[in-house]
Structure 1
Amino acid sequence: MSAHVAIVTDSTAYLPQPTLVRHGITSVPLTVVLGDRALEDGTETSARALALALQKHRPVTTSRPSPEVFAATYRKAAEAGATGIISLHLSAEFSGTYDAAVLAARESPVPVRVVDTGMVAMALGFCAVSAAEAAEAGGTLDDAVAAAEKRAADTSAYFYVDTLDYLRRGGRIGAAQALLGSALAVKPLLELDGGRIELREKVRTASKAIARLEEIVAERAGSGQVDIAVHHLAAPGRAAALADRLRARVPGLVELHLSEVGAVIGAHTGPGLLGAVVSPR
């Protein structure tokens, strides 16, 4: 990490620990509340507890980090020698995390640029890595922001869910769209568009939906250099199979990340989630 520009993101980026360490990225955790238990997002414990809670139809809520947590993070970065901070977060349409970071930035001892990437999961993670790489190359705070914003603009995220009910309950997709999916017994393919979850296609069966997801990702990747992430919730076999097929199918693949999403995202999608992020270099 540059001695001058510090990189902060949040736990919904689901960046692997070695990547956080290698680039000196600080990840601020969101919280998932399962009944009367509050757990940090992004941990194995929270993911297991979430799956159990969803299966038993127990109440699940999520909460943003407080402005005080962000303020402490920014102070620590400044004390470590940072003269500027870029703070990259999941879409403000999904969470108040961005707003909390903005509040904290006003009290920071060094300049903080808070960026609503409009992304989530590794679509956000790739933005944080690009910002870090720009800083490591000696770039300014503006350079790091520009690198992150370009990566966000070029990145696409698609996902399949077994049911739209969880997204409907969390207010992340319209009730009319959710009802339509249930009434027609179709399997939805969704995408991130303008920081919101939008219905891309409706497919009749799960197997056809996953095959179509693969096609969309391969078409979007094209022949240029790309990074891809495959995410899932309680569907490791399905995710590993998709990852293997994409490795064989995408000629310009540089890195492929395979991971289970944390509890904050999982609470809104439900078990069976299969997602893919395509991020050109």
Structure 2
Amino acid sequence: MPVVVVTDSSACLDPELAEQLGIRVVPLHVLVDGRDLREGVDPMPTDLFTGDGATTSGASPGELTSVYEQALADSGGDGVVALHISRQLSATWEAGRQAAQSLGEKVRIVDSQSTAMALGYAALAAARLARAGGGLRAVYERAVDVADRGRVLIMVDRLDHLRRGGRIGTAAALLGTALAMKPVLHLVDGKLVLKEKTRTTTKALAKLVDGAAELAGAGDVAVAVHHVGAAAHADEVAAALRTRLPGASEFVVSELGPVIGSHVGPGAIGVLVVPGGAGATADAVADPVVELDVDE
């Protein structure tokens, strides 16, 4: 049986594609008005991104244990590779580590140090390799490789949502608000860090395109453009990147889910690139199933 790949709902995977590849997607949680809503499962309030009351939480050890157990059984004992949102952004990875400890070394955990399709492309690459016959070691290493190569840039309309969620310092948030700037952030070692400040949305979007093109380099690349209620700007960025990156083998344009969207807020645009692409390598398929000493 193929190795089974597990990820979480922050990966922004198309549900049909995830189902085709047998990827198990564990929902993260949005807490609003006393209700615990599961991302991708439960209907969300229409004003979720504009209200002040929503908070988020990761998947629990119990939830992940249940999913990992079923995935391991479905693999026929061949193993499970679970890729999750950066541990710097969510407690989900730590919950997964705890869950995996109870199930033995056939369950491998990957800290993607990212989220959205930077995580999603790593999950897709791992699942494709698993379907092609890759063993536990090969699938794990492929997931780590693609996740390591992912780069994320994001423009937020305001820093208020990130400040409330504790994802960026209060001083930086107040500075951005006071000067009405459009900050461009990036993920460094799994943390959101202010990269540069621009005064207009037009300039910020141009910085996203230029930055992504520079990070992508020449040749194959997997690209994704995400947004929160800003489809027109996302389409504009996507069109520019299709021109700048003609070698892109995969290209996704989609809205961010409620968990990430509630932190970055309305108007946010995210761009991610995986230089070298996210396809499975043929020589990795023959790798045997080998137990690993690392969990991340």
TM-score, normalised to structure 1, is 0.93
Partner Cα separation in structure 2 for residue 274 and residue 185 of structure 1: 17
1:228 aligned to 2:226? no
1:219 aligned to 2:214? yes
Q: Which amino acid aligns with 1:142?
A: R
**What does residue range 237-256 of structure 1 map to in structure 2 within 5 Å?**
237-256=232-251
Which of residues 14, 17, 24 is equivalent to 2:22?
A: 24
* Contact preservation (8 Å) 1:78, 1:110: no
**What does residue range 2-21 of structure 1 map to in structure 2 within 5 Å?**
3-21=1-19
* Contact preservation (8 Å) 1:14, 1:42: no
1:128 aligned to 2:116? no
For structure 1, the residue ranges without an aligned partner over 5 or more in a row are none
Q: Which amino acid aligns with 1:14?
A: C
Deviations 1:77-103 (A, max 9, x none): 222224211110000011110111111
**What does residue range 96-107 of structure 1 map to in structure 2 within 5 Å?**
96-107=91-102
Which of residues 68, 73, 76 is equivalent to 2:70?
A: 76
SS in 2 for 1:45: coil
Partner residue of 1:261? 256
Partner residue of 2:282? none
**What does residue range 44-63 of structure 1 map to in structure 2 within 5 Å?**
45-46=43-44, 49=45, 52-55=47-50, 57-63=51-57
1:276 aligned to 2:271? yes
Q: 1:31 to 1:14 in 2, by over 3 A?
A: same
Partner Cα separation in structure 2 for residue 72 and residue 229 of structure 1: 31
Partner Cα separation in structure 2 for residue 24 and residue 73 of structure 1: 13
The structural deviation recorded for 1:189 is 0.3
SS in 2 for 1:53: coil
Count residues with an aligned counterpart: 275
Q: 1:44 to 1:73 in 2, by over 3 A?
A: closer
Partner Cα separation in structure 1 for residue 71 and residue 105 of structure 2: 9
Partner residue of 1:191? 186
* Contact preservation (8 Å) 1:13, 1:124: yes
Q: 1:43 to 1:260 in 2, by over 3 A?
A: farther
1:207 aligned to 2:202? yes
Q: Which amino acid aligns with 1:12?
A: S
Partner Cα separation in structure 2 for residue 43 and residue 244 of structure 1: 31
For structure 2, the residue ranges without an aligned partner over 5 or more in a row are 278-296
Partner Cα separation in structure 1 for residue 104 and residue 143 of structure 2: 23
Partner Cα separation in structure 2 for residue 6 and residue 226 of structure 1: 25
Structure number with the higher helix fraction is 1
Partner Cα separation in structure 2 for residue 82 and residue 27 of structure 1: 19
Q: 244-253 or 102-111: which moved more? A: 102-111
* Contact preservation (8 Å) 1:75, 1:109: no
Partner Cα separation in structure 1 for residue 40 and residue 183 of structure 2: 25
The structural deviation recorded for 1:110 is 6.6
SS in 2 for 1:199: strand
Alignment RMSD, CA only?
A: 1.6
* Contact preservation (8 Å) 1:5, 1:141: yes
Q: Which amino acid aligns with 1:79?
A: A
SS in 1 for 2:183: strand
1:118 aligned to 2:113? yes
Partner residue of 2:61? 67
Partner Cα separation in structure 1 for residue 218 and residue 98 of structure 2: 42
The structural deviation recorded for 1:59 is 0.5
Partner residue of 1:162? 157
